[in-house]
Chains A and B, each alone.
Chain A
Amino acid sequence: MKLILSDHDERIIEHCPATVEQILLEAGINPLDVLVSRNGNLISEDTVVGDEDEIRVIRIAHGG
């Protein structure tokens, strides 16, 4: 599975299927600090993603 981080860095994650939450924690990201989308659609953290998926992390930066 391909994980695209908010700084456009990309990582390949091996241990799929896994939940979005597990993948974020593995990458050292607090799930509350980000949104995650798959093919442009928001998905919840308990969504199970597989090897063929590409998910994008949107960081919720602080901006008033």
Chain B
Amino acid sequence: MNQKVRGASLCSRCDEPAVVFQRDARRHLCAVHFMADLESRVTDTIKTRRMIMEGDRVVVAISGGKDSTALLLLLSRLLPAWQNVQLIAITIDEGIAGYREATVKAAEDLAHRLGIEYHCIAFPDLFGDSLDVLLKGRETLACSICGILRRKALVVAAQRAGATKLATGHNLDDEAQSVFMNALRGDLPRLIRNSGADSKGRFIPRIKPLSFISEKEIAAYLVLKNAWNELPECPYTRYALRREVRSILSDFEYRHPGTMLHLMESKEKIERSCAGPLFSAPLRTCRTCGDPSSGDLCQVCLLLRSLGR
């Protein structure tokens, strides 16, 4: 018997051996049908949630890691069918030694290979120093500090590029982890603030076209597209609560399929019923930088001040 087929189930849509088994749909798919299915689900997410419209300039944040690599590959493949939508790829170089050099290179190479306009923006240019330097002695807070500064850096980069949308590669696992973490912290407002709902004309809307695709599916897509790269992992993740949550949720998803999707659905329900009241308070502007802010100083200026900047 054919080496490829031995012991394998066949695709539900053709006679090729399956490369994935989708547990929720109880469906086997071969390489070709799996990639087509994933692409049509992403298209669906973008269309039904009106993430990208005619005339949009979409800035895609690419880290060189697998999720954003998959996002750029997918968008560059799907968007030519849309009416005059432009893609621009941007990397934030936080300055993390032993990790960022290789990933920035991968991001840049990918954008060039796809013929997409590319920019890289570095922490020292925006905040005076690299993340490594800013973090000295506060390594355990790395992910929350980096998260705040990255978000700001992305907005600046997107504004400079004239973006009308800012796309990130967050996948279903990431989103489910965020919902779970915010619930654990009792921080519901943050859950909603992180979403694209806070546009109101003052922010560039954030879109997450992969938010219904699991991390495993993204990895499989990259392997099948010959775009799987073994790149270094961010050295700071070992301090992250997310790492624990990831493992817990992954076990839970395995034993109770659909867990992550249910967390996402909860988030969307909360968004629908709370977005109004939460955002009815008038936005203020930061005393130092003039950015929209909920208090006297914005989160970034507060943070930089606490870091002695």
Contact = CB atoms under 8 A, between A and B. Distances in A.
A42 B31 contact: yes
Contact of A60 (B4, B6, B216, B224): B216
Contacts of B65: 63-64
Measured as residues with beta carbon below 8 angstroms from the partner, the interface class of chain B is 35 or more
B251 A47 contact: no
A50 B250 contact: no
A30 to B, nearest CB: 5
B217 to A, nearest CB: 10
Contact of B8 (A30, A32, A44, A58): A44
Contacts of B20: 42, 44
Task: Specify which of A42, A44, A45 lies most central, judged by the most chain B CB atoms within 10 Å of its CB.
Answer: A44
Interface of B: 3-4, 6-9, 17-21, 28, 31, 63-68, 103, 169, 214-216, 219-220, 223-224, 228, 231, 233-234, 237, 243, 246, 250-251, 253-254
7 contacts: A33-B250, A37-B223, A42-B220, A44-B28, A48-B7, A53-B6, A64-B169
A50 B7 contact: yes
B97 to A, nearest CB: 16
Q: A-B pairs with the 3 shortest C-beta distances?
A: A63-B65, A48-B7, A64-B65
B233 A35 contact: no
Interface residues of A, number: 25
Contacts of A58: 219, 223, 228
Nearest to A47: B8
Contacts of A47: 7-9, 18
Contact of B6 (A31, A50, A63): A50
A61 B224 contact: no
Contact of B21 (A33, A46, A60): A46
Interface of A: 17, 30-33, 35, 37, 39, 41-50, 53, 58, 60-64
A35 B234 CA distance: 21
State the majority secondary structure of interface residues on A.
Answer: loop
Given A63-B231, A63-B233, A42 B7 contact: no
Contact of A32 (B19, B216, B224, B243): B216
A62 B7 contact: no
A35 B223 contact: yes
A44 B223 contact: no
Contacts of B3: 39
Nearest to B34: A42
B28 A62 contact: no
Contact of A62 (B21, B220, B233): B233
Given A32-B250, A35-B216, A42-B223, A64 B8 contact: no
Contacts of B234: 63-64
Contacts of B233: 61-63
A6 B28 CA distance: 25
Given A33-B250, A35-B220, A64-B169, A44 B19 contact: yes
A42 B17 CA distance: 10
Task: Specify which of B7, B215, B234 lies most central, judged by the most chain A CB atoms within 10 Å of its CB.
Answer: B7
